[in-house]
Amino acid sequence: MGEIKDISDLPGIGAQGAEKLFKANYRTLESIAVASPMELTEAAGLGDKTAEKAIKAARDALEMGFETAEKIQKRREKIGKISTGSKELDELLGGGIETQSITEVYGKMSSGKTQWCFQLSVMVQHTPEKGGLSGNALYIDSESSFRPERVTSIAKAQGLDPTKVLKNIYVARAYNADHQMLLAEKAEQFIKEKNIKLLIVDSLTSQFRSEYIGRGLLAERQQKLNKHLRQLMKLAEMYNIVVLVTNQVMSRPDILFGDPTAPIGGNVVGHATKTRLYLRKSRGEKRIARLVDSPSLPDGEAIYQVTENGIEDVKK
């Protein structure tokens, strides 16, 4: 077998199979290498054995397997961070929200989750020296909560041209859970073509929660949610971008002491999101962000405020 450079070179695929995979959004060797045989069988009608061979060949071509910790360290050196606009929050987050993983913000209604989405959509467009990634934003809106006027006021406060900022945010309204998943799959092409450095899903769980009601559908809901999160994680790692998701909460009656509020999605969401922030409303414009989970940072809290200018430090 000759050198494998693209998906049509994979064993058993050929031009016809490559076309089917391309239409199903499997367009690179990387996308094949991280897929499961079942996914390729469903997407392009490949036989199980053909799918397994194609995945193995793609992984071999990309030298996927064990690697030294030094290589991982070098890859992590490429991690970029987006400032939140608040020094207190950035300190809590070790310098800002980082690329190559999913960050989740969750809280009750009016806790300011969507404000984080607006803020980061603007901040990502700054140069790295000013806390950005010199990139654009892709925004999947599942609750019809995107407001250009909020983006405009934040852009003005950041000294950016609001018209240019709005042109660099690509918004799609997700009408149901399957549509939301499809938009995440289509995001890959946009990321490559439009210099996307931030992918937002606001909110991650609302469509799944409203469609899969009752215990009988819980397993199916979690399975779909897991597939959706895997796709988002793949994009974050492959393209070195920030993925920010917002999440709703529920009250847990089994918790007798402390805060009974818990994010929707259970362990599926908990394991997929690397950094988790719990937002609470305080007095007036003040908000509290608690870092609940992070692989490299200690738990802690930060107080900030949400004003017309966006997310800011509380003036002392």
State pLDDT tens for residues 72-109: 888 888 899 999 999 999 999 999 999 999 999 999 98
* Domain assignment present for 66: no
Domain check: are 133 and 203 in the same one?
yes
Domain check: are 18 and 117 in the same one?
no
* Domain assignment present for 67: no
Domain check: are 143 and 88 in the same one?
yes
Number of independent structural domains in the chain: 2
Whether the pLDDT of residue 1 is over 60: the answer is no
Question: CA-based diameter of the chain, in Å?
Answer: 68
* Domain assignment present for 68: no
Domain check: are 26 and 95 in the same one?
no
Mean pLDDT across 224-249: 93
Whether the pLDDT of residue 260 is over 70: the answer is no
Confidence class of residue 2 from pLDDT cuts 50, 70 and 90?
low
* Domain assignment present for 273: yes
Domain check: are 168 and 223 in the same one?
yes
Domain check: are 237 and 271 in the same one?
yes
For the domain that residue 236 is a member of, what is the CATH number?
3.40.50.300
Which tens digits make up the pLDDT trace of 192-234?
Answer: 999 999 999 999 999 888 888 777 777 888 889 999 999 999 9
* Domain assignment present for 212: yes
Domain check: are 207 and 300 in the same one?
yes
Beta-sheet pairing, 136-141 with 196-202:
parallel
Domain check: are 167 and 299 in the same one?
yes
Domain check: are 24 and 129 in the same one?
no
Domain span at residue 14? Answer: 7-61
Cα separation, 92 vs 287, whole angstroms: 14
Cα separation, 130 vs 121, whole angstroms: 14
SS3 289: strand
Domain check: are 268 and 161 in the same one?
yes
* Domain assignment present for 156: yes
Q: Which of 61, 87, 107 is the last residue of a domain?
A: 61
* Domain assignment present for 226: yes
Domain check: are 47 and 163 in the same one?
no
For the domain that residue 48 is a member of, what is the CATH number?
1.10.150.20
Using the 8-state DSSP alphabet, how is residue 296 labeled?
Answer: S
- Would you state the pLDDT for residue 258? 52
Whether the pLDDT of residue 262 is over 80: the answer is no
| Alpha helical stretches, state H, the chain | 14-23, 29-33, 37-44, 48-61, 69-76, 87-92, 113-123, 148-157, 162-167, 177-193, 206-211, 218-239, 266-272
- Tell me the pTM: 0.81
Query: What does 53-110 look like in DSSP terms, one character per residue?
Result: HHHHHHHHHTT-S---HHHHHHHHTT--EE--S-HHHHHHTTSSEESSEEEEEEESTT
Report the 10 Å Cβ neighbour count for 203. 26
Domain check: are 206 and 157 in the same one?
yes
* Domain assignment present for 2: no
Confidence class of residue 17 from pLDDT cuts 50, 70 and 90?
confident
Confidence class of residue 150 from pLDDT cuts 50, 70 and 90?
very high
